[in-house]
Structure 1
Amino acid sequence: MALSAYKTDRRELRIHENADDLSCDLAEYIAELSEASIKDRGVFAIAMSGGSLITLMRKLCEAPYIKTVDFSKWYIFWADERVVAKSHSDSNYKLAKDSLFSKVPILHSHVHSINDTVTAEQAAEDYEFVIRQLVRTRVISVSEVNDCPKFDLVLLGMGPDGHVASLFPNHSVLNEKEQWVTFITDSPKPPPERITFTFPVINSASNVAVVVTGGSKAEAAHMAIDDIGPDSPELPARMVQPSEGKLVWFLDTAAASKLEGVKLSE
Protein backbone atom coordinates (compact mmCIF):
# COMPACT_ATOMS: atom_id res chain seq x y z
CA MET A 1 0.00 0.00 0.00
CA ALA A 2 1.36 3.41 -0.96
CA LEU A 3 1.94 5.96 1.79
CA SER A 4 0.50 8.52 -0.62
CA ALA A 5 -1.10 8.17 -4.05
CA TYR A 6 -1.93 10.89 -6.56
CA LYS A 7 -3.79 9.91 -9.70
CA THR A 8 -5.04 11.55 -12.86
CA ASP A 9 -6.47 9.93 -15.98
CA ARG A 10 -3.03 9.28 -17.45
CA ARG A 11 -0.53 9.52 -14.59
CA GLU A 12 -0.29 8.13 -11.09
CA LEU A 13 2.22 8.77 -8.31
CA ARG A 14 2.71 6.05 -5.70
CA ILE A 15 4.88 7.22 -2.83
CA HIS A 16 6.15 4.68 -0.30
CA GLU A 17 7.73 5.00 3.10
CA ASN A 18 10.70 2.84 2.18
CA ALA A 19 12.18 0.69 -0.58
CA ASP A 20 10.74 -2.52 0.84
CA ASP A 21 7.18 -1.19 0.72
CA LEU A 22 7.83 0.09 -2.78
CA SER A 23 9.14 -3.32 -3.83
CA CYS A 24 5.99 -5.03 -2.55
CA ASP A 25 3.72 -2.62 -4.42
CA LEU A 26 5.82 -2.89 -7.59
CA ALA A 27 5.54 -6.68 -7.57
CA GLU A 28 1.76 -6.48 -7.17
CA TYR A 29 1.54 -3.93 -9.99
CA ILE A 30 3.60 -6.09 -12.36
CA ALA A 31 1.69 -9.24 -11.44
CA GLU A 32 -1.66 -7.56 -12.14
CA LEU A 33 -0.49 -6.29 -15.54
CA SER A 34 0.92 -9.72 -16.36
CA GLU A 35 -2.37 -11.42 -15.55
CA ALA A 36 -4.40 -8.93 -17.58
CA SER A 37 -2.09 -9.10 -20.59
CA ILE A 38 -1.94 -12.90 -20.63
CA LYS A 39 -5.74 -13.08 -20.36
CA ASP A 40 -6.10 -10.59 -23.22
CA ARG A 41 -3.24 -11.57 -25.57
CA GLY A 42 -1.79 -14.81 -24.26
CA VAL A 43 1.61 -13.22 -23.58
CA PHE A 44 3.22 -10.48 -21.48
CA ALA A 45 5.88 -8.42 -23.27
CA ILE A 46 7.93 -6.48 -20.74
CA ALA A 47 10.96 -4.25 -21.33
CA MET A 48 13.14 -3.10 -18.45
CA SER A 49 16.25 -1.19 -17.54
CA GLY A 50 18.86 -2.40 -15.08
CA GLY A 51 20.47 -1.11 -11.91
CA SER A 52 18.52 -0.81 -8.69
CA LEU A 53 15.27 -1.40 -10.58
CA ILE A 54 16.09 -5.11 -10.86
CA THR A 55 16.71 -5.34 -7.13
CA LEU A 56 13.36 -3.69 -6.45
CA MET A 57 11.64 -6.40 -8.51
CA ARG A 58 12.89 -9.07 -6.09
CA LYS A 59 9.48 -9.74 -4.51
CA LEU A 60 8.40 -11.45 -7.73
CA CYS A 61 10.68 -14.33 -6.73
CA GLU A 62 8.73 -14.86 -3.52
CA ALA A 63 5.29 -16.09 -2.52
CA PRO A 64 2.66 -15.63 -3.72
CA TYR A 65 4.02 -14.48 -7.08
CA ILE A 66 6.37 -17.37 -7.70
CA LYS A 67 3.29 -19.60 -7.92
CA THR A 68 0.57 -17.26 -9.19
CA VAL A 69 2.38 -15.43 -12.02
CA ASP A 70 2.54 -17.33 -15.32
CA PHE A 71 6.18 -16.56 -16.07
CA SER A 72 6.17 -19.01 -19.00
CA LYS A 73 4.14 -16.43 -20.95
CA TRP A 74 6.60 -13.60 -20.31
CA TYR A 75 8.78 -12.20 -23.09
CA ILE A 76 11.67 -10.13 -21.73
CA PHE A 77 13.41 -7.20 -23.42
CA TRP A 78 15.73 -4.41 -22.34
CA ALA A 79 14.81 -0.75 -22.67
CA ASP A 80 18.54 -0.18 -22.62
CA GLU A 81 21.66 -2.26 -22.28
CA ARG A 82 25.38 -1.73 -21.85
CA VAL A 83 27.34 -3.12 -24.82
CA VAL A 84 29.51 -5.47 -22.80
CA ALA A 85 29.78 -9.24 -22.57
CA LYS A 86 26.77 -10.94 -20.97
CA SER A 87 29.09 -12.21 -18.25
CA HIS A 88 30.35 -8.69 -17.44
CA SER A 89 29.38 -7.09 -14.14
CA ASP A 90 28.00 -4.05 -16.03
CA SER A 91 25.57 -6.16 -18.06
CA ASN A 92 21.90 -5.50 -17.30
CA TYR A 93 21.21 -8.99 -18.61
CA LYS A 94 23.58 -10.56 -16.09
CA LEU A 95 22.08 -8.58 -13.21
CA ALA A 96 18.54 -9.56 -14.18
CA LYS A 97 19.49 -13.18 -14.80
CA ASP A 98 21.32 -13.56 -11.49
CA SER A 99 18.77 -11.68 -9.38
CA LEU A 100 15.48 -12.58 -11.04
CA PHE A 101 15.29 -14.84 -14.09
CA SER A 102 17.26 -17.70 -12.57
CA LYS A 103 14.75 -17.80 -9.71
CA VAL A 104 11.47 -17.86 -11.65
CA PRO A 105 10.25 -20.19 -14.43
CA ILE A 106 10.86 -17.88 -17.39
CA LEU A 107 11.66 -19.66 -20.66
CA HIS A 108 15.20 -18.95 -21.81
CA SER A 109 14.01 -18.57 -25.40
CA HIS A 110 11.72 -15.73 -24.29
CA VAL A 111 14.59 -13.65 -22.89
CA HIS A 112 15.83 -11.36 -25.65
CA SER A 113 19.26 -9.99 -24.81
CA ILE A 114 21.47 -8.04 -27.20
CA ASN A 115 24.20 -9.45 -29.43
CA ASP A 116 27.27 -8.70 -27.31
CA THR A 117 29.81 -9.65 -29.99
CA VAL A 118 29.28 -6.68 -32.33
CA THR A 119 29.56 -2.90 -32.24
CA ALA A 120 27.00 -0.79 -30.42
CA GLU A 121 25.56 0.36 -33.74
CA GLN A 122 25.17 -3.20 -35.01
CA ALA A 123 23.79 -4.38 -31.67
CA ALA A 124 21.08 -1.71 -31.88
CA GLU A 125 20.23 -2.69 -35.46
CA ASP A 126 20.08 -6.37 -34.55
CA TYR A 127 17.88 -5.69 -31.53
CA GLU A 128 15.44 -3.61 -33.54
CA PHE A 129 15.26 -6.42 -36.12
CA VAL A 130 14.32 -8.94 -33.41
CA ILE A 131 11.62 -6.62 -32.10
CA ARG A 132 10.24 -6.06 -35.61
CA GLN A 133 9.98 -9.82 -36.12
CA LEU A 134 8.05 -10.21 -32.87
CA VAL A 135 5.75 -7.32 -33.78
CA ARG A 136 4.94 -9.12 -37.03
CA THR A 137 4.00 -12.27 -35.11
CA ARG A 138 2.05 -10.21 -32.54
CA VAL A 139 4.13 -11.34 -29.60
CA ILE A 140 4.51 -7.59 -29.18
CA SER A 141 1.47 -5.47 -29.98
CA VAL A 142 1.67 -2.55 -32.39
CA SER A 143 0.57 1.02 -31.75
CA GLU A 144 -2.23 2.25 -33.96
CA VAL A 145 -0.88 5.77 -33.62
CA ASN A 146 2.62 5.38 -35.06
CA ASP A 147 3.17 1.67 -35.85
CA CYS A 148 5.75 1.43 -33.06
CA PRO A 149 5.93 -1.66 -30.87
CA LYS A 150 3.45 -1.45 -28.03
CA PHE A 151 4.99 -3.25 -25.07
CA ASP A 152 2.64 -4.31 -22.33
CA LEU A 153 5.00 -2.71 -19.81
CA VAL A 154 8.16 -0.64 -19.99
CA LEU A 155 9.96 -0.42 -16.62
CA LEU A 156 12.42 2.43 -16.17
CA GLY A 157 14.66 3.77 -13.46
CA MET A 158 15.84 7.37 -13.30
CA GLY A 159 19.30 8.78 -12.58
CA PRO A 160 20.10 11.86 -10.48
CA ASP A 161 20.56 13.74 -13.77
CA GLY A 162 17.04 12.79 -14.89
CA HIS A 163 18.09 10.23 -17.50
CA VAL A 164 15.91 7.23 -18.27
CA ALA A 165 17.01 4.12 -20.17
CA SER A 166 20.23 5.38 -21.80
CA LEU A 167 18.63 8.66 -22.84
CA PHE A 168 20.76 11.33 -21.22
CA PRO A 169 20.15 15.09 -20.91
CA ASN A 170 21.09 17.18 -23.94
CA HIS A 171 22.02 14.13 -26.02
CA SER A 172 21.11 14.05 -29.71
CA VAL A 173 19.33 10.69 -29.42
CA LEU A 174 16.56 12.37 -27.41
CA ASN A 175 15.21 13.62 -30.73
CA GLU A 176 15.40 10.30 -32.60
CA LYS A 177 11.99 9.67 -34.17
CA GLU A 178 12.60 7.04 -36.86
CA GLN A 179 14.54 4.25 -35.16
CA TRP A 180 13.03 2.05 -32.47
CA VAL A 181 16.40 1.20 -30.98
CA THR A 182 19.44 3.44 -31.21
CA PHE A 183 22.94 3.48 -29.76
CA ILE A 184 25.38 5.80 -28.03
CA THR A 185 29.14 5.57 -27.66
CA ASP A 186 29.57 8.53 -25.30
CA SER A 187 27.51 7.76 -22.24
CA PRO A 188 28.33 10.24 -19.44
CA LYS A 189 28.41 7.31 -17.03
CA PRO A 190 30.41 4.17 -17.80
CA PRO A 191 30.40 2.02 -19.77
CA PRO A 192 30.23 4.44 -22.72
CA GLU A 193 28.66 2.15 -25.34
CA ARG A 194 24.96 1.37 -24.97
CA ILE A 195 21.81 0.60 -26.89
CA THR A 196 18.53 2.19 -25.91
CA PHE A 197 14.87 2.35 -26.84
CA THR A 198 13.90 5.71 -28.29
CA PHE A 199 11.08 7.85 -26.93
CA PRO A 200 8.58 6.87 -29.65
CA VAL A 201 8.87 3.26 -28.43
CA ILE A 202 8.80 4.08 -24.72
CA ASN A 203 5.80 6.35 -25.16
CA SER A 204 3.90 3.79 -27.25
CA ALA A 205 3.76 1.26 -24.40
CA SER A 206 0.46 0.27 -22.84
CA ASN A 207 2.01 0.91 -19.42
CA VAL A 208 5.16 2.72 -18.32
CA ALA A 209 6.50 2.68 -14.77
CA VAL A 210 9.33 4.89 -13.56
CA VAL A 211 10.86 3.66 -10.30
CA VAL A 212 12.90 6.13 -8.23
CA THR A 213 14.45 5.82 -4.79
CA GLY A 214 16.84 7.95 -2.75
CA GLY A 215 17.30 11.59 -1.88
CA SER A 216 19.97 12.08 -4.56
CA LYS A 217 17.17 11.86 -7.14
CA ALA A 218 14.70 14.17 -5.39
CA GLU A 219 15.56 17.27 -7.42
CA ALA A 220 15.35 15.38 -10.72
CA ALA A 221 12.00 13.89 -9.66
CA HIS A 222 10.74 17.40 -8.92
CA MET A 223 11.94 18.64 -12.31
CA ALA A 224 10.41 15.64 -14.09
CA ILE A 225 7.03 15.53 -12.38
CA ASP A 226 6.06 19.01 -11.20
CA ASP A 227 4.66 21.83 -13.31
CA ILE A 228 7.83 23.91 -13.40
CA GLY A 229 7.10 26.26 -16.30
CA PRO A 230 8.25 26.53 -19.91
CA ASP A 231 11.72 27.90 -19.18
CA SER A 232 12.98 24.93 -17.20
CA PRO A 233 15.25 22.38 -18.86
CA GLU A 234 13.55 19.37 -20.40
CA LEU A 235 14.81 16.33 -18.54
CA PRO A 236 14.57 12.98 -20.33
CA ALA A 237 12.39 11.68 -17.49
CA ARG A 238 9.93 14.48 -18.15
CA MET A 239 9.68 13.31 -21.77
CA VAL A 240 8.18 10.01 -20.63
CA GLN A 241 4.61 10.73 -21.68
CA PRO A 242 2.75 7.69 -23.02
CA SER A 243 0.61 8.63 -26.01
CA GLU A 244 -2.17 6.19 -25.15
CA GLY A 245 -0.93 4.18 -22.19
CA LYS A 246 -0.73 4.82 -18.47
CA LEU A 247 2.25 6.16 -16.55
CA VAL A 248 2.95 5.27 -12.92
CA TRP A 249 5.75 6.76 -10.84
CA PHE A 250 6.91 4.63 -7.91
CA LEU A 251 8.89 6.73 -5.41
CA ASP A 252 10.09 6.42 -1.84
CA THR A 253 9.71 9.38 0.49
CA ALA A 254 13.31 10.48 -0.04
CA ALA A 255 12.89 10.68 -3.81
CA ALA A 256 9.51 12.42 -3.40
CA SER A 257 10.73 14.91 -0.79
CA LYS A 258 10.88 17.90 -3.19
CA LEU A 259 7.62 17.32 -5.04
CA GLU A 260 5.21 20.24 -4.92
CA GLY A 261 1.85 19.75 -3.27
CA VAL A 262 2.72 16.31 -1.88
CA LYS A 263 2.24 15.82 1.83
CA LEU A 264 4.17 12.92 3.25
CA SER A 265 2.44 11.85 6.44
CA GLU A 266 4.39 10.36 9.32
Structure 2
Amino acid sequence: MPQSSAPPVLYSYKDVPSLTSSLANFILKAQTDAIKHRGVFTIALSGGSLPNNLKPLVDVKEIQWDKWQVFFADERIVPLDHPDSNYDGCAKAFLDLVPIKKEQIHTINTELFREQTRIDPTGEIKKEDEDEAENEAIEIADDYEKQLVSTFAGANAARYPTFDLILLGMGPDGHTCSLFPGHELLAENDRWVAEIQDSPKPPKRRITFTYQVLNHAFRCAFVAAGEGKQDMLSQILDKPEEGLPCSRVRPASPGLVFWFVDDAAAAKLKYPKTEYKWIDQATDDDPISLERQKMKKEMDAAVEAANHD
Protein backbone atom coordinates (compact mmCIF):
# COMPACT_ATOMS: atom_id res chain seq x y z
CA MET A 1 0.00 0.00 0.00
CA PRO A 2 1.17 3.56 -0.57
CA GLN A 3 2.47 5.14 2.62
CA SER A 4 -0.08 7.94 2.89
CA SER A 5 -3.23 8.20 4.96
CA ALA A 6 -6.55 10.00 4.87
CA PRO A 7 -7.89 12.01 7.82
CA PRO A 8 -10.25 10.22 10.23
CA VAL A 9 -13.97 10.03 9.46
CA LEU A 10 -16.13 11.07 12.42
CA TYR A 11 -19.69 9.83 12.94
CA SER A 12 -21.63 11.19 15.93
CA TYR A 13 -24.99 9.95 17.21
CA LYS A 14 -27.65 11.26 19.58
CA ASP A 15 -27.43 8.20 21.81
CA VAL A 16 -25.63 4.88 22.25
CA PRO A 17 -28.38 2.70 20.68
CA SER A 18 -28.17 4.76 17.49
CA LEU A 19 -24.38 4.46 17.55
CA THR A 20 -24.33 0.68 18.04
CA SER A 21 -26.99 0.13 15.38
CA SER A 22 -24.93 2.03 12.79
CA LEU A 23 -21.76 0.29 13.96
CA ALA A 24 -23.39 -3.09 13.33
CA ASN A 25 -24.37 -1.94 9.83
CA PHE A 26 -20.81 -0.70 9.24
CA ILE A 27 -19.38 -4.08 10.30
CA LEU A 28 -21.85 -5.86 8.02
CA LYS A 29 -20.73 -3.68 5.10
CA ALA A 30 -17.06 -4.39 5.83
CA GLN A 31 -17.84 -8.11 6.04
CA THR A 32 -19.79 -8.18 2.78
CA ASP A 33 -17.07 -6.26 0.96
CA ALA A 34 -14.35 -8.59 2.25
CA ILE A 35 -16.19 -11.80 1.43
CA LYS A 36 -17.01 -10.54 -2.05
CA HIS A 37 -13.35 -9.90 -2.82
CA ARG A 38 -11.53 -12.60 -0.82
CA GLY A 39 -14.09 -15.03 0.52
CA VAL A 40 -13.16 -14.36 4.16
CA PHE A 41 -13.59 -11.58 6.73
CA THR A 42 -10.69 -10.82 9.08
CA ILE A 43 -11.56 -8.75 12.13
CA ALA A 44 -9.74 -7.84 15.34
CA LEU A 45 -11.62 -6.97 18.52
CA SER A 46 -10.73 -5.04 21.66
CA GLY A 47 -11.90 -5.12 25.26
CA GLY A 48 -13.15 -2.50 27.69
CA SER A 49 -16.61 -1.19 26.83
CA LEU A 50 -16.36 -2.31 23.18
CA PRO A 51 -17.81 -5.84 23.58
CA ASN A 52 -21.11 -4.52 24.91
CA ASN A 53 -21.34 -2.18 21.92
CA LEU A 54 -21.18 -5.23 19.65
CA LYS A 55 -24.26 -6.98 21.10
CA PRO A 56 -26.50 -5.85 18.18
CA LEU A 57 -24.46 -8.11 15.88
CA VAL A 58 -26.30 -11.09 17.34
CA ASP A 59 -29.49 -10.00 15.55
CA VAL A 60 -27.97 -9.14 12.15
CA LYS A 61 -29.22 -11.99 9.98
CA GLU A 62 -26.99 -11.17 7.01
CA ILE A 63 -23.75 -11.87 8.89
CA GLN A 64 -21.94 -14.91 7.50
CA TRP A 65 -20.30 -16.15 10.68
CA ASP A 66 -18.70 -19.09 8.88
CA LYS A 67 -16.51 -16.63 6.93
CA TRP A 68 -15.15 -14.75 9.95
CA GLN A 69 -11.60 -15.00 11.31
CA VAL A 70 -11.51 -13.25 14.69
CA PHE A 71 -8.41 -11.92 16.45
CA PHE A 72 -7.86 -9.64 19.44
CA ALA A 73 -5.98 -6.38 19.03
CA ASP A 74 -4.59 -6.86 22.51
CA GLU A 75 -5.02 -9.37 25.27
CA ARG A 76 -4.15 -9.70 28.92
CA ILE A 77 -1.96 -12.62 29.98
CA VAL A 78 -4.72 -14.26 32.00
CA PRO A 79 -6.83 -17.42 31.53
CA LEU A 80 -9.51 -17.10 28.85
CA ASP A 81 -12.31 -17.23 31.42
CA HIS A 82 -10.74 -14.54 33.62
CA PRO A 83 -12.71 -11.28 34.11
CA ASP A 84 -9.76 -9.31 32.65
CA SER A 85 -9.67 -11.37 29.45
CA ASN A 86 -10.73 -9.48 26.33
CA TYR A 87 -11.78 -12.78 24.80
CA ASP A 88 -14.04 -13.48 27.77
CA GLY A 89 -15.68 -10.05 27.46
CA CYS A 90 -16.39 -10.53 23.75
CA ALA A 91 -17.52 -14.13 24.26
CA LYS A 92 -20.11 -13.17 26.84
CA ALA A 93 -21.28 -10.14 24.86
CA PHE A 94 -21.84 -11.84 21.52
CA LEU A 95 -19.42 -14.57 20.36
CA ASP A 96 -21.04 -17.26 22.52
CA LEU A 97 -24.44 -16.26 21.14
CA VAL A 98 -23.71 -16.69 17.43
CA PRO A 99 -22.88 -19.72 15.23
CA ILE A 100 -19.14 -19.22 14.91
CA LYS A 101 -16.72 -22.12 15.33
CA LYS A 102 -14.07 -21.97 18.04
CA GLU A 103 -11.29 -22.54 15.52
CA GLN A 104 -12.24 -19.27 13.81
CA ILE A 105 -11.52 -17.35 17.02
CA HIS A 106 -7.80 -16.83 17.60
CA THR A 107 -6.93 -16.54 21.28
CA ILE A 108 -3.64 -16.48 23.12
CA ASN A 109 -2.16 -19.93 23.76
CA THR A 110 -2.71 -20.54 27.46
CA GLU A 111 -0.71 -23.77 27.25
CA LEU A 112 2.35 -21.50 27.28
CA PHE A 113 1.47 -20.18 30.75
CA ARG A 114 3.80 -20.77 33.67
CA GLU A 115 2.26 -22.47 36.68
CA GLN A 116 2.38 -19.19 38.59
CA THR A 117 0.39 -17.48 35.83
CA ARG A 118 -2.30 -20.15 36.08
CA ILE A 119 -2.49 -19.74 39.87
CA ASP A 120 -2.30 -15.94 40.16
CA PRO A 121 -2.25 -14.30 36.70
CA THR A 122 -2.44 -10.70 37.95
CA GLY A 123 -0.12 -11.06 40.93
CA GLU A 124 3.15 -9.18 41.31
CA ILE A 125 6.17 -10.85 39.73
CA LYS A 126 8.89 -11.67 42.23
CA LYS A 127 12.37 -10.37 41.47
CA GLU A 128 13.79 -13.84 41.00
CA ASP A 129 10.99 -14.71 38.53
CA GLU A 130 11.28 -11.63 36.29
CA ASP A 131 13.36 -13.25 33.54
CA GLU A 132 11.14 -16.33 33.41
CA ALA A 133 8.01 -14.16 33.29
CA GLU A 134 9.45 -12.03 30.51
CA ASN A 135 10.36 -15.09 28.46
CA GLU A 136 6.84 -16.40 28.94
CA ALA A 137 5.32 -13.14 27.69
CA ILE A 138 7.64 -13.06 24.68
CA GLU A 139 6.71 -16.65 23.81
CA ILE A 140 2.98 -15.85 24.04
CA ALA A 141 3.37 -12.77 21.83
CA ASP A 142 5.46 -14.66 19.28
CA ASP A 143 2.91 -17.48 19.19
CA TYR A 144 0.11 -15.00 18.51
CA GLU A 145 2.16 -13.43 15.72
CA LYS A 146 2.54 -16.90 14.20
CA GLN A 147 -1.25 -17.21 14.23
CA LEU A 148 -1.39 -14.00 12.21
CA VAL A 149 1.19 -15.35 9.78
CA SER A 150 -0.72 -18.60 9.24
CA THR A 151 -3.99 -16.76 8.60
CA PHE A 152 -2.66 -14.04 6.33
CA ALA A 153 0.18 -15.81 4.52
CA GLY A 154 -2.04 -17.03 1.71
CA ALA A 155 -4.31 -13.99 1.63
CA ASN A 156 -2.02 -11.72 -0.37
CA ALA A 157 1.61 -11.02 -1.10
CA ALA A 158 1.76 -8.00 1.20
CA ARG A 159 4.49 -7.66 3.78
CA TYR A 160 1.98 -7.06 6.58
CA PRO A 161 -1.34 -8.58 7.63
CA THR A 162 -4.15 -6.47 6.17
CA PHE A 163 -7.18 -6.80 8.42
CA ASP A 164 -10.53 -5.99 6.90
CA LEU A 165 -11.51 -4.29 10.15
CA ILE A 166 -9.89 -3.59 13.52
CA LEU A 167 -12.24 -2.33 16.24
CA LEU A 168 -10.60 -0.16 18.88
CA GLY A 169 -11.33 1.64 22.11
CA MET A 170 -9.97 4.87 23.55
CA GLY A 171 -8.49 4.88 27.04
CA PRO A 172 -8.76 7.88 29.40
CA ASP A 173 -5.08 8.62 28.74
CA GLY A 174 -5.45 8.29 24.96
CA HIS A 175 -4.13 4.74 24.77
CA THR A 176 -5.51 2.12 22.42
CA CYS A 177 -4.84 -1.62 22.37
CA SER A 178 -2.05 -1.80 24.98
CA LEU A 179 -0.11 1.06 23.40
CA PHE A 180 0.30 3.69 26.11
CA PRO A 181 1.52 7.30 25.95
CA GLY A 182 5.28 7.57 26.20
CA HIS A 183 5.83 3.81 26.13
CA GLU A 184 8.68 2.35 24.08
CA LEU A 185 6.24 0.11 22.17
CA LEU A 186 5.01 3.16 20.27
CA ALA A 187 8.26 3.00 18.32
CA GLU A 188 8.21 -0.76 17.64
CA ASN A 189 8.82 -1.19 13.91
CA ASP A 190 9.66 -4.88 13.53
CA ARG A 191 7.20 -7.04 15.42
CA TRP A 192 3.49 -7.43 14.66
CA VAL A 193 2.67 -8.52 18.21
CA ALA A 194 4.64 -7.42 21.25
CA GLU A 195 4.52 -8.15 24.96
CA ILE A 196 4.16 -5.50 27.65
CA GLN A 197 5.14 -6.24 31.23
CA ASP A 198 4.58 -2.79 32.73
CA SER A 199 1.15 -1.63 31.60
CA PRO A 200 0.16 1.56 33.48
CA LYS A 201 -3.35 0.11 33.64
CA PRO A 202 -3.81 -3.25 35.38
CA PRO A 203 -3.27 -6.02 34.67
CA LYS A 204 0.35 -5.20 33.92
CA ARG A 205 1.15 -8.16 31.66
CA ARG A 206 -0.33 -8.16 28.15
CA ILE A 207 0.33 -8.62 24.47
CA THR A 208 -0.67 -6.10 21.83
CA PHE A 209 -0.77 -5.43 18.11
CA THR A 210 1.79 -2.82 17.12
CA TYR A 211 1.30 -0.02 14.59
CA GLN A 212 2.79 -2.35 11.98
CA VAL A 213 -0.58 -4.14 12.07
CA LEU A 214 -2.92 -1.25 12.91
CA ASN A 215 -1.66 0.98 10.13
CA HIS A 216 -1.94 -1.64 7.42
CA ALA A 217 -5.61 -2.44 8.00
CA PHE A 218 -8.29 -1.62 5.45
CA ARG A 219 -10.47 -0.15 8.18
CA CYS A 220 -9.86 0.82 11.81
CA ALA A 221 -12.87 1.95 13.81
CA PHE A 222 -12.82 3.55 17.25
CA VAL A 223 -15.88 3.53 19.50
CA ALA A 224 -16.25 6.09 22.30
CA ALA A 225 -19.32 7.23 24.23
CA GLY A 226 -20.18 9.31 27.27
CA GLU A 227 -19.34 12.71 28.74
CA GLY A 228 -16.22 11.26 30.34
CA LYS A 229 -14.66 10.94 26.88
CA GLN A 230 -15.08 14.62 25.90
CA ASP A 231 -11.67 16.05 26.77
CA MET A 232 -9.58 13.17 25.50
CA LEU A 233 -11.59 12.82 22.28
CA SER A 234 -11.05 16.51 21.57
CA GLN A 235 -7.34 16.17 22.27
CA ILE A 236 -7.00 13.19 19.93
CA LEU A 237 -8.95 14.55 16.95
CA ASP A 238 -8.39 18.30 17.32
CA LYS A 239 -4.71 18.07 18.31
CA PRO A 240 -3.26 15.03 16.52
CA GLU A 241 0.17 16.67 16.54
CA GLU A 242 0.41 15.79 20.24
CA GLY A 243 0.93 12.20 19.12
CA LEU A 244 -1.28 10.32 21.56
CA PRO A 245 -1.52 6.60 20.74
CA CYS A 246 -5.06 6.88 19.31
CA SER A 247 -3.96 9.74 17.03
CA ARG A 248 -1.20 7.57 15.61
CA VAL A 249 -3.66 5.06 14.17
CA ARG A 250 -3.67 6.20 10.54
CA PRO A 251 -3.86 3.26 8.12
CA ALA A 252 -1.84 3.62 4.93
CA SER A 253 -3.87 4.32 1.80
CA PRO A 254 -6.42 3.01 0.91
CA GLY A 255 -7.06 2.21 4.57
CA LEU A 256 -9.31 4.50 6.58
CA VAL A 257 -9.88 5.24 10.25
CA PHE A 258 -13.39 5.90 11.56
CA TRP A 259 -14.73 7.19 14.85
CA PHE A 260 -18.16 6.14 16.11
CA VAL A 261 -19.08 8.42 19.04
CA ASP A 262 -22.18 9.76 20.72
CA ASP A 263 -23.01 13.45 20.97
CA ALA A 264 -22.10 13.47 24.66
CA ALA A 265 -18.52 12.41 23.88
CA ALA A 266 -18.32 14.80 20.90
CA ALA A 267 -19.57 17.88 22.78
CA LYS A 268 -16.18 19.66 22.84
CA LEU A 269 -14.99 18.65 19.37
CA LYS A 270 -14.12 21.12 16.66
CA TYR A 271 -13.33 18.28 14.26
CA PRO A 272 -15.87 18.08 11.38
CA LYS A 273 -18.53 15.39 11.54
CA THR A 274 -19.69 13.22 8.62
CA GLU A 275 -23.24 11.96 8.23
CA TYR A 276 -23.37 8.18 8.32
CA LYS A 277 -25.09 6.69 5.29
CA TRP A 278 -26.90 3.47 6.05
CA ILE A 279 -25.67 0.79 3.70
CA ASP A 280 -27.94 -2.03 2.53
CA GLN A 281 -25.28 -3.77 0.48
CA ALA A 282 -21.63 -3.49 -0.50
CA THR A 283 -20.81 -1.19 -3.38
CA ASP A 284 -17.78 -1.02 -5.62
CA ASP A 285 -17.32 2.74 -5.57
CA ASP A 286 -15.61 3.21 -2.21
CA PRO A 287 -11.79 3.49 -2.15
CA ILE A 288 -11.25 0.30 -0.19
CA SER A 289 -13.33 -1.77 -2.59
CA LEU A 290 -11.55 -0.24 -5.58
CA GLU A 291 -8.16 -1.01 -4.06
CA ARG A 292 -9.21 -4.62 -3.45
CA GLN A 293 -10.09 -4.96 -7.14
CA LYS A 294 -6.70 -3.52 -8.12
CA MET A 295 -4.86 -5.89 -5.76
CA LYS A 296 -6.77 -8.89 -7.13
CA LYS A 297 -5.92 -7.96 -10.73
CA GLU A 298 -2.24 -7.60 -9.82
CA MET A 299 -2.24 -10.96 -8.02
CA ASP A 300 -4.04 -12.68 -10.92
CA ALA A 301 -1.53 -11.20 -13.35
CA ALA A 302 1.39 -12.38 -11.21
CA VAL A 303 -0.03 -15.91 -11.00
CA GLU A 304 -0.66 -15.95 -14.74
CA ALA A 305 2.90 -14.80 -15.45
CA ALA A 306 4.31 -17.44 -13.10
CA ASN A 307 2.32 -20.17 -14.85
CA HIS A 308 3.85 -19.19 -18.18
CA ASP A 309 7.47 -19.24 -16.85
Q: TM-score, normalised by structure 1?
A: 0.88
Could you tell me which residue of structure 2 aligns to residue 240 of structure 1? 249
Q: 1:247 is paired with a residue of what secondary structure?
A: strand
Structure 2 CA distance for aligned equivalents of residues 125 and 261 of structure 1: 38
Q: CA deviation at 1:19?
A: 1.1
- Tell me the amino acid that sits aligned with residue 20 of structure 2: S
- The structure 2 residue matched to 1:93, chosen from 87, 91, 100, is 87
Unpaired stretches in structure 2, ≥5 consecutive residues: 114-135, 274-309
Q: CA deviation at 1:142?
A: 5.5
- 1:179-258 aligned at under 5 Å gives the runs 179-226=191-238, 228=239, 230=241, 233-244=242-253, 245-258=255-268
Could you tell me which residue of structure 2 aligns to residue 113 of structure 1? 107
Could you tell me which residue of structure 2 aligns to residue 21 of structure 1? 18
Structure 2 CA distance for aligned equivalents of residues 42 and 57 of structure 1: 23
Cα 1:165–1:114 change in 2 (3 A) is same
Cα 1:205–1:262 change in 2 (3 A) is closer
Q: Deviations over 1:1-57 (max 9, x none)?
A: xxxxxxx96531000111111110100000111011111100000011111111001
Structure 2 CA distance for aligned equivalents of residues 172 and 215 of structure 1: 30
Structure with greater helix share of residues:
2
User: What is the RMSD of the two structures over their aligned residues, measured on CA atoms?
Assistant: 1.8
- 1:38-187 aligned at under 5 Å gives the runs 38-62=35-59, 65=60, 67-116=61-110, 117-118=112-113, 119-138=136-155, 141=156, 143=158, 147-187=159-199
Q: 2:109 is paired with a residue of what secondary structure?
A: coil
- 1:1-20 aligned at under 5 Å gives the runs 10-20=7-17
- Tell me the amino acid that sits aligned with residue 82 of structure 2: H
The alignment-based identity, stated in percent, is 41
Unpaired stretches in structure 1, ≥5 consecutive residues: 1-7
Q: TM-score, normalised by structure 2?
A: 0.76
Q: 1:45 is paired with a residue of what secondary structure?
A: strand
- Tell me the amino acid that sits aligned with residue 169 of structure 2: G
Q: CA deviation at 1:134?
A: 1.5
8 Å CA contact retained: 1:135, 1:142: no
- Tell me the amino acid that sits aligned with residue 131 of structure 1: L
8 Å CA contact retained: 1:142, 1:149: no
The number of equivalent residue pairs is 246
Which structure is richer in relative contact order (CA contacts within 8 A, separation 6 or more)?
2
8 Å CA contact retained: 1:38, 1:44: yes
Structure with greater strand share of residues:
1
Q: Which has the larger radius of gyration?
A: 2
Structure 1 CA distance for aligned equivalents of residues 250 and 86 of structure 2: 24
8 Å CA contact retained: 2:186, 2:245: yes
Q: CA deviation at 1:94?
A: 0.9
8 Å CA contact retained: 1:169, 1:236: yes
8 Å CA contact retained: 1:85, 1:91: yes
